[in-house]
Amino acid sequence: MSQAADGNTVKIHYTGTLEDGSQFDSSEGREPLEFTIGGGQVIVGFDTACRGMEVGDKKTVTLPPEEAYGEHNPEMVAQVERGMMPEDMEPEVGMPMHASGPNGEMLNFVIIDFDDESVTVDGNPPLAGKALTFAIEMVEIA
């Protein structure tokens, strides 16, 4: 049997959980996740965990934040004056927002707090700063 290596396109089933056991994502009930090993399509630790697996192999790995979405960066949290927000927007904690960056790239934020004068937004990925555990099953290697 062949082992998954750089350049192979693989299909895997997975379930991702946090330290408290809560599930944040799963391929259950869907098609397997397909990606190319070493192609930069998935987080680094997940890519590394799939290397060397054979079809039918199952494993569970826990990735520290630096191998997943990185540490929570306080510089990605900002306060924005309410007057800078769309007039018809009624902010809610957890509400996603989008803005254009200086080079035209799309920036994603989540509202984490607000008052009458300002809105506090967080541009970190939602899973930043968290250790992630994945149960992985290799389904196909091409």
pLDDT in tens, 24-39: 999 999 999 999 999 9
End-to-end CA distance of the chain: 12
pLDDT of residue 121: 95
The structure's pTM equals 0.84
Residue 113 lies inside a defined structural domain of this protein:
yes
Alpha-carbon torsion (120, 123, 126, 131), positive or negative: negative
- Residues 88, 60 within the same domain: no
- Residues 65, 84 within the same domain: no
> What is the domain extent for residue 28?
9-70+127-141
- Distance CA(84)–CA(104), nearest Å, equals 18
- Residues 15, 82 within the same domain: no
- Residues 81, 44 within the same domain: no
Q: How many domains does the chain have?
A: 2
51 CB contacts (<8 Å, ≥6 apart)? Answer: 3, 4, 5, 6, 37
What mean pLDDT comes out for the span 116-125? Answer: 95
Model confidence at 5, in pLDDT bands (50, 70, 90)? very high
Tell how strand 58-63 and strand 132-141 pair up: antiparallel
